[in-house]
Copies of this chain bind each other. A is one copy, B any other.
Amino acid sequence: MNGLLKIKKQQKDHKTIIDFAGSKIGNGNFVVIAGPCAVESQEQMFMTAKVIQDMGTIFMRGGTFKPRTNPYSFQGLGIDGLGILEQAKKKYNVIVSTEVMSTEMVDVVSRNVDILQIGSRNMQNFDLLKKVGKTSLPVILKRGLSATIEEWLAAAEYIMCEGNRNVILCERGIRTFEKYTRNTLDLSAVLAVKQLSHLPVIVDPSHGTGRSDMILPMAKAAMAIGADGIMIEIHPNPGEALSDGDQSINFAGFTDLIGEVQKLKKVFNYC
Protein backbone atom coordinates (compact mmCIF):
# COMPACT_ATOMS: atom_id res chain seq x y z
CA MET A 1 0.00 0.00 0.00
CA ASN A 2 2.59 2.50 1.06
CA GLY A 3 5.50 0.78 -0.65
CA LEU A 4 8.22 1.99 -2.94
CA LEU A 5 6.66 1.25 -6.29
CA LYS A 6 3.28 2.63 -5.39
CA ILE A 7 4.61 5.89 -4.00
CA LYS A 8 6.81 6.23 -7.00
CA LYS A 9 3.87 6.16 -9.34
CA GLN A 10 1.85 8.60 -7.27
CA GLN A 11 4.52 11.15 -6.44
CA LYS A 12 7.06 11.45 -9.15
CA ASP A 13 8.97 14.21 -7.48
CA HIS A 14 8.95 12.68 -4.04
CA LYS A 15 12.27 12.23 -2.33
CA THR A 16 12.62 10.56 1.03
CA ILE A 17 14.36 12.88 3.46
CA ILE A 18 15.35 11.55 6.86
CA ASP A 19 15.56 14.04 9.68
CA PHE A 20 17.59 13.58 12.87
CA ALA A 21 16.58 16.62 14.85
CA GLY A 22 17.81 18.87 12.10
CA SER A 23 20.59 16.76 10.58
CA LYS A 24 19.21 15.32 7.39
CA ILE A 25 19.99 12.57 4.92
CA GLY A 26 18.51 12.71 1.44
CA ASN A 27 17.89 16.46 1.30
CA GLY A 28 20.73 17.28 -1.05
CA ASN A 29 23.32 17.16 1.68
CA PHE A 30 26.39 14.87 1.65
CA VAL A 31 26.77 13.06 4.96
CA VAL A 32 29.81 11.25 6.30
CA ILE A 33 29.11 8.39 8.69
CA ALA A 34 32.38 7.35 10.28
CA GLY A 35 33.59 5.01 12.96
CA PRO A 36 35.31 1.73 13.57
CA CYS A 37 34.27 -1.58 12.15
CA ALA A 38 33.93 -2.88 15.71
CA VAL A 39 33.40 -1.16 19.04
CA GLU A 40 36.43 -2.29 21.04
CA SER A 41 36.48 -0.05 24.13
CA GLN A 42 34.99 3.04 25.68
CA GLU A 43 38.25 4.90 25.15
CA GLN A 44 38.27 4.09 21.43
CA MET A 45 34.68 5.23 20.96
CA PHE A 46 35.13 8.41 22.96
CA MET A 47 38.17 9.32 20.87
CA THR A 48 36.21 8.57 17.72
CA ALA A 49 33.14 10.49 18.82
CA LYS A 50 35.30 13.44 19.73
CA VAL A 51 36.97 13.66 16.34
CA ILE A 52 33.55 13.39 14.71
CA GLN A 53 32.26 16.16 16.93
CA ASP A 54 35.32 18.26 16.14
CA MET A 55 34.84 17.77 12.43
CA GLY A 56 31.15 18.62 12.77
CA THR A 57 30.09 15.54 10.86
CA ILE A 58 27.81 14.20 13.60
CA PHE A 59 27.18 10.67 12.29
CA MET A 60 29.07 7.81 13.96
CA ARG A 61 29.05 4.10 13.19
CA GLY A 62 30.35 1.25 15.31
CA GLY A 63 29.62 -2.46 15.24
CA THR A 64 28.91 -4.31 18.43
CA PHE A 65 27.25 -7.39 17.00
CA LYS A 66 29.67 -8.46 14.28
CA PRO A 67 28.77 -10.94 11.56
CA ARG A 68 32.06 -12.77 11.04
CA THR A 69 32.65 -15.47 8.46
CA ASN A 70 34.70 -17.46 10.90
CA PRO A 71 32.96 -18.44 14.15
CA TYR A 72 36.27 -18.24 16.00
CA SER A 73 36.89 -14.58 15.04
CA PHE A 74 36.12 -11.70 17.41
CA GLN A 75 32.33 -11.38 17.41
CA GLY A 76 31.97 -7.93 18.91
CA LEU A 77 31.26 -6.72 22.42
CA GLY A 78 27.52 -7.33 22.16
CA ILE A 79 25.36 -5.69 24.81
CA ASP A 80 28.42 -4.09 26.41
CA GLY A 81 29.17 -2.38 23.13
CA LEU A 82 25.69 -0.93 23.03
CA GLY A 83 26.32 0.67 26.39
CA ILE A 84 29.52 2.24 25.12
CA LEU A 85 27.77 3.58 22.04
CA GLU A 86 25.08 5.17 24.19
CA GLN A 87 27.65 6.80 26.45
CA ALA A 88 29.55 8.22 23.47
CA LYS A 89 26.28 9.45 21.99
CA LYS A 90 25.34 11.33 25.13
CA LYS A 91 28.75 12.74 25.87
CA TYR A 92 29.59 13.93 22.35
CA ASN A 93 26.12 14.43 20.91
CA VAL A 94 26.71 12.22 17.89
CA ILE A 95 24.07 10.31 15.92
CA VAL A 96 24.87 6.64 16.26
CA SER A 97 24.36 3.79 13.80
CA THR A 98 24.97 0.12 14.50
CA GLU A 99 24.19 -3.19 12.85
CA VAL A 100 21.42 -5.40 14.09
CA MET A 101 21.78 -9.04 13.16
CA SER A 102 18.72 -10.79 14.52
CA THR A 103 15.05 -10.17 15.12
CA GLU A 104 15.51 -10.86 18.79
CA MET A 105 17.94 -7.99 19.24
CA VAL A 106 15.98 -5.33 17.37
CA ASP A 107 14.19 -3.98 20.43
CA VAL A 108 17.31 -3.84 22.59
CA VAL A 109 19.45 -2.22 19.92
CA SER A 110 16.71 0.30 19.10
CA ARG A 111 16.82 1.66 22.63
CA ASN A 112 20.50 2.62 22.40
CA VAL A 113 21.12 3.96 18.90
CA ASP A 114 19.66 6.30 16.30
CA ILE A 115 20.05 4.30 13.14
CA LEU A 116 19.81 0.54 12.52
CA GLN A 117 22.04 -1.10 9.92
CA ILE A 118 21.22 -4.25 8.01
CA GLY A 119 24.43 -5.84 6.77
CA SER A 120 24.93 -7.22 3.31
CA ARG A 121 24.73 -10.82 4.52
CA ASN A 122 21.27 -10.10 5.90
CA MET A 123 19.86 -8.12 2.98
CA GLN A 124 17.41 -10.93 2.32
CA ASN A 125 16.85 -11.96 5.92
CA PHE A 126 13.21 -11.12 5.43
CA ASP A 127 12.07 -11.58 8.99
CA LEU A 128 14.72 -9.15 10.14
CA LEU A 129 13.64 -6.66 7.47
CA LYS A 130 10.04 -6.93 8.65
CA LYS A 131 11.06 -6.47 12.26
CA VAL A 132 13.08 -3.28 11.65
CA GLY A 133 10.19 -2.16 9.46
CA LYS A 134 8.08 -2.07 12.60
CA THR A 135 10.46 0.25 14.46
CA SER A 136 10.55 4.01 14.12
CA LEU A 137 14.31 4.21 13.54
CA PRO A 138 15.89 4.94 10.17
CA VAL A 139 17.47 1.86 8.59
CA ILE A 140 20.62 1.67 6.51
CA LEU A 141 20.14 -1.27 4.14
CA LYS A 142 23.39 -2.52 2.67
CA ARG A 143 23.32 -4.15 -0.72
CA GLY A 144 23.90 -7.91 -0.65
CA LEU A 145 27.18 -9.30 -1.93
CA SER A 146 25.59 -10.47 -5.14
CA ALA A 147 22.23 -8.78 -5.01
CA THR A 148 20.85 -7.21 -8.14
CA ILE A 149 19.58 -3.65 -7.89
CA GLU A 150 16.06 -4.99 -8.25
CA GLU A 151 16.49 -7.40 -5.34
CA TRP A 152 17.97 -4.62 -3.23
CA LEU A 153 15.00 -2.34 -3.85
CA ALA A 154 12.63 -5.23 -3.13
CA ALA A 155 14.39 -5.73 0.19
CA ALA A 156 13.84 -2.05 0.99
CA GLU A 157 10.21 -2.59 0.12
CA TYR A 158 10.00 -5.29 2.82
CA ILE A 159 10.94 -2.67 5.40
CA MET A 160 8.66 0.02 4.03
CA CYS A 161 5.69 -2.33 3.77
CA GLU A 162 5.68 -2.55 7.54
CA GLY A 163 5.34 1.19 7.91
CA ASN A 164 8.93 2.37 8.29
CA ARG A 165 9.68 4.51 5.28
CA ASN A 166 13.03 5.81 6.48
CA VAL A 167 15.31 3.55 4.52
CA ILE A 168 18.80 4.58 3.41
CA LEU A 169 20.38 2.34 0.78
CA CYS A 170 24.10 1.66 0.99
CA GLU A 171 26.21 0.42 -1.94
CA ARG A 172 29.15 -1.49 -0.46
CA GLY A 173 30.65 -3.36 -3.37
CA ILE A 174 29.63 -6.54 -5.11
CA ARG A 175 31.45 -9.82 -5.43
CA THR A 176 33.19 -10.35 -8.75
CA PHE A 177 36.14 -12.35 -10.09
CA GLU A 178 38.54 -9.47 -9.36
CA LYS A 179 40.50 -9.98 -6.13
CA TYR A 180 42.80 -6.95 -6.05
CA THR A 181 40.01 -5.20 -4.21
CA ARG A 182 37.91 -6.92 -1.55
CA ASN A 183 34.77 -6.22 -3.57
CA THR A 184 34.00 -4.22 -6.70
CA LEU A 185 32.40 -0.92 -5.77
CA ASP A 186 29.52 -0.45 -8.21
CA LEU A 187 29.02 3.30 -8.45
CA SER A 188 26.59 2.88 -11.31
CA ALA A 189 24.24 1.28 -8.79
CA VAL A 190 23.93 4.67 -7.10
CA LEU A 191 22.82 6.20 -10.38
CA ALA A 192 20.42 3.32 -10.97
CA VAL A 193 18.84 3.71 -7.56
CA LYS A 194 18.41 7.43 -8.15
CA GLN A 195 16.49 6.60 -11.32
CA LEU A 196 14.34 3.86 -9.85
CA SER A 197 13.63 5.02 -6.34
CA HIS A 198 13.04 7.98 -4.07
CA LEU A 199 15.34 6.69 -1.35
CA PRO A 200 18.66 8.24 -0.31
CA VAL A 201 21.70 6.18 -1.20
CA ILE A 202 25.15 6.26 0.36
CA VAL A 203 28.42 4.53 -0.53
CA ASP A 204 30.75 2.48 1.65
CA PRO A 205 34.24 2.67 0.11
CA SER A 206 35.79 0.80 3.05
CA HIS A 207 33.97 -2.46 2.35
CA GLY A 208 33.63 -1.59 -1.32
CA THR A 209 37.37 -1.69 -1.88
CA GLY A 210 38.86 -3.20 1.27
CA ARG A 211 41.79 -0.80 0.95
CA SER A 212 42.39 2.27 3.05
CA ASP A 213 44.25 4.00 0.22
CA MET A 214 41.14 3.90 -1.97
CA ILE A 215 38.75 5.44 0.55
CA LEU A 216 39.46 9.08 -0.21
CA PRO A 217 39.37 8.86 -4.02
CA MET A 218 36.21 6.75 -3.90
CA ALA A 219 34.61 9.22 -1.51
CA LYS A 220 35.24 11.94 -4.07
CA ALA A 221 33.83 9.75 -6.83
CA ALA A 222 30.73 9.18 -4.71
CA MET A 223 30.26 12.94 -4.57
CA ALA A 224 30.84 13.26 -8.30
CA ILE A 225 27.95 10.93 -9.08
CA GLY A 226 25.58 12.49 -6.59
CA ALA A 227 25.45 10.02 -3.70
CA ASP A 228 23.80 11.23 -0.50
CA GLY A 229 26.83 10.38 1.59
CA ILE A 230 29.42 7.84 2.53
CA MET A 231 29.98 5.43 5.36
CA ILE A 232 33.64 4.87 6.17
CA GLU A 233 35.72 3.03 8.71
CA ILE A 234 38.05 5.09 10.87
CA HIS A 235 40.15 3.89 13.78
CA PRO A 236 42.61 5.59 16.14
CA ASN A 237 45.14 2.97 15.14
CA PRO A 238 44.08 0.88 12.12
CA GLY A 239 47.09 -1.41 12.47
CA GLU A 240 45.73 -2.66 15.77
CA ALA A 241 42.04 -2.83 14.88
CA LEU A 242 40.33 -6.06 15.93
CA SER A 243 38.67 -6.25 12.53
CA ASP A 244 38.96 -4.67 9.09
CA GLY A 245 42.05 -2.60 9.86
CA ASP A 246 43.10 -2.78 6.20
CA GLN A 247 40.10 -0.79 5.13
CA SER A 248 40.16 1.83 7.89
CA ILE A 249 41.83 5.24 7.87
CA ASN A 250 43.26 6.95 10.94
CA PHE A 251 42.11 10.28 12.35
CA ALA A 252 44.60 12.30 10.33
CA GLY A 253 43.29 10.65 7.17
CA PHE A 254 39.76 11.34 8.35
CA THR A 255 40.52 15.01 8.87
CA ASP A 256 41.96 15.26 5.37
CA LEU A 257 38.93 13.51 3.95
CA ILE A 258 36.54 15.90 5.64
CA GLY A 259 38.54 18.80 4.23
CA GLU A 260 38.17 17.42 0.74
CA VAL A 261 34.48 16.74 1.24
CA GLN A 262 33.88 20.31 2.38
CA LYS A 263 35.69 21.65 -0.66
CA LEU A 264 33.76 19.45 -3.09
CA LYS A 265 30.33 20.10 -1.59
CA LYS A 266 30.13 23.42 -3.39
CA VAL A 267 31.57 22.02 -6.60
CA PHE A 268 28.90 19.35 -6.78
CA ASN A 269 26.05 21.54 -5.54
CA TYR A 270 25.43 19.81 -2.25
CA CYS A 271 23.64 21.90 0.34
A interface with B by C-beta (< 8 Å):
3, 67-72, 101-105, 121-122, 124-128, 144-146, 148-151, 154, 157-158, 161, 174-181, 184-189, 191-192, 195, 208-209, 211, 213-214, 217-218, 220-221, 223-226, 263-264, 267-268
Question: Which of B145, B151, B218 lies in contact with A146, CB distance below 8 A?
Answer: B145
Known contacts A70-B157, A144-B145; 10 additional CB pairs below 8 A are: A69-B154, A121-B124, A146-B146, A149-B180, A150-B180, A174-B178, A188-B218, A217-B225, A221-B225, A264-B267
A161 partner residues in chain B, CB cutoff 8 A: 71
Question: Which of B3, B125, B174, B179 lies in contact with A71, CB distance below 8 A?
Answer: B3
Question: Which of B127, B184, B223 lies in contact with A184, CB distance below 8 A?
Answer: B184
**A224 and B220 contact, Cβ closer than 8 Å, known pairs A71-B3, A124-B69:** yes
Which residue in chain B gives the minimum CB-CB distance to A68? B126
Chain B nearest CB, measured from A19 CB (Å): 25
Q: Is there contact, CB below 8 Å, between B186 and A178?
A: yes
Q: Is there contact, CB below 8 Å, between B146 and A175?
A: yes
A158 partner residues in chain B, CB cutoff 8 A: 71
Chain B nearest CB, measured from A135 CB (Å): 16
Q: Is there contact, CB below 8 Å, between A67 and B103?
A: no
Task: For the complex, give the distance between the alpha carbons of A186 and B223 in Å.
Answer: 16
Which residue in chain B gives the minimum CB-CB distance to A195? B213
A148 partner residues in chain B, CB cutoff 8 A: 177-180
Which residue in chain B gives the minimum CB-CB distance to A185? B188
Q: Is there contact, CB below 8 Å, between B101 and A104?
A: no
Q: Is there contact, CB below 8 Å, between A67 and B124?
A: yes
A268 partner residues in chain B, CB cutoff 8 A: 220
Task: For the complex, give the distance between the alpha carbons of A192 and B151 in Å.
Answer: 26
Q: Pick from A144, A180, A181, A192 the residue with the most CB of B within 10 Å.
A: A180
A189 partner residues in chain B, CB cutoff 8 A: 178, 180
Task: For the complex, give the distance between the alpha carbons of A267 and B267 in Å.
Answer: 8
Which residue in chain B gives the minimum CB-CB distance to A122? B125
Which residue in chain B gives the minimum CB-CB distance to A159? B71
Chain B nearest CB, measured from A28 CB (Å): 16
Chain B nearest CB, measured from A182 CB (Å): 10
**A177 and B125 contact, Cβ closer than 8 Å, known pairs A3-B71, A69-B151:** no
Question: Which of B125, B174, B211, B218 lies in contact with A187, CB distance below 8 A?
Answer: B218
A150 partner residues in chain B, CB cutoff 8 A: 69, 180
Chain B nearest CB, measured from A74 CB (Å): 13
